[in-house]
Amino acid sequence: MPMKIFWSFLETLQTVIIAVATVFVVRVFVAQPFLVSGSSMEPSFSNGNYLLIDEVSYRVREPKRGEVIVFRYPGDHRSFYIKRIIGLPGERVVIQNGSVAVYQVGGDEKLLNESYIAKQNFSGEISMTLKDSQYFVMGDNRDFSFDSRAWGPLERSDITGLVRFRLWPVEEVMAFGVPAY
């Protein structure tokens, strides 16, 4: 009987070790949870939304315009922010009269039709050219977002991952893709 208890204990211990190791690997290398704090991404994401961040995609491909990302704030790497990618490396971003235009490599202008923001008459004028590993990010709630307009471009190395799912609140659970421009 004592030997049976011992083998049962070892089997339980093995199951627990495998489960903990699996959770650790997934949490560190594949996906991680993120809690939205603040209103800078409304109406897309609200304070208290619980999201799942994909940490694998950007290891095999580059970020795309319109994707919502989580990143380390350039001014304090202990803080994480959530914003939408507006400008890609090598592009020039011009903000004027409440609209955003992106001049792609080669000079073609792309005026962004941003259906995901509540209003498009935010203030401020900016013209910024991005370097090879830089991105221009903005919150969807433009009047209440602390973003690249205030602190400049985001370095590729600061990007943590891509927002894939909203898990909370339950009535708003959904997956996210890239908006069409």
Q: Pairing relation of β-strands 92-96 and 99-103?
A: antiparallel
Catalytic (active site) residue 83: yes
State the residue for tokens 């199951």. 15
How far apart (Å, rounded) are the C-alpha atoms in residues 170 and 167?
6
Helix (H) or strand (E) holding 86, with range, is strand 80-87
How far apart (Å, rounded) are the C-alpha atoms in residues 136 and 145?
13
| Annotated catalytic residue, options 44, 83, 145, 148 | 83
- In 3D space, the residue among 75, 105, 111 whose CA is nearest the CA of residue 92 turns out to be 105
| Annotated catalytic residue, options 40, 44, 145, 148 | 40
How far apart (Å, rounded) are the C-alpha atoms in residues 25 and 69?
21
CB 95 within 8 A of CB 124: yes
Structure tokens at 157: 């190395």
| One-letter amino acid for residue 85 of the chain | I
Catalytic (active site) residue 4: no
Q: Which residues are catalytic?
A: 40, 83
